[in-house]
Amino acid sequence: MIDTHVHVVPPGLPGVGSLNLCPEGGAAEVATRLRGEMADTGVSQALAMGAWNTGPDDPLGINETLHLARAVPGLHAIGIADPLRSDPDHLRRAEAVLASGQVKGLKAYLGYLHYPPDHPGYVPYYELAARFKLPFVFHTGDTYSPNAKVRFAHPLLVDDVAVDHSDVRFVLAHAGNPWLTDAAEVVYKNVNVWADLSGLVVGGLAAFAAEERQELLQEASAALRRAFRYAERPNRFLYGSDWPLAPMGAYRDFICASIPEIYHPLVFEDNARLLFRL
Q: Is the pLDDT of residue 270 over 80?
A: yes
* Residue 60 identity: L
* pLDDT of 208 strictly over 80: yes
pLDDT at 180: 98
The whole-number pLDDT of residue 108 equals 98
pLDDT tens digits for range 188-205: 999 999 999 999 999 999
- Supply the angle between the helices 214-231 and 248-258 in degrees, to the nearest 10: 50
pTM above 0.95, yes or no: yes
Query: How far is it, in rounded angstroms, from Cα 2 to Cα 47?
Result: 8
Sign of CA dihedral 128, 65, 246, 146: negative
CATH of domain 2-275: 3.20.20.140
* Per-domain boundaries in the chain: 2-275
Q: What would the pLDDT profile of 151-189 be if each residue is shown by its tens digit?
A: 999 999 999 999 999 999 999 999 999 999 999 999 999
* pLDDT of amino acid 97: 98
> Residue 181, class by beta-carbon neighbours within 10 Å (0-12 exposed, 13-18 middle, 19+ buried)?
middle
The single-letter code of the amino acid at 211 is E
High-pLDDT (> 90) share of the chain, %? 95
Q: What is the SS3 assignment for the chain?
A: CEEEEEECCCCCCCCCCCCCCCCCCHHHHHHHHHHHHHHHHCCCEEEEECCCCCCCCCCCCCHHHHHHHCCCCCEEEEEECCCCCCCHHHHHHHHHHHHCCCEEEEEECECCECCCCCCHHHHHHHHHHHHHCCCEEEECCCCCCCCCCHHHHCCCHHHHHHHHCCCCCEEEEHHHCCCHHHHHHHHHHCCCEEEECCCCCCCCHHHHHCHHHHHHHHHHHHHHHHHHHHHCCHHHEECCCCECCCCHHHHHHHHHHHCCHHHHHHHHHHHHHHHCCC
Among the listed residues 110, 177, 97, the one whose alpha carbon sits nearest the alpha carbon of residue 137: 110
Phi, psi of 78 (to 5 degrees): -110, 125
Distance CA 257, CA 252 (A): 9
Backbone angles phi, psi at 170, to 5 degrees: -105, 150
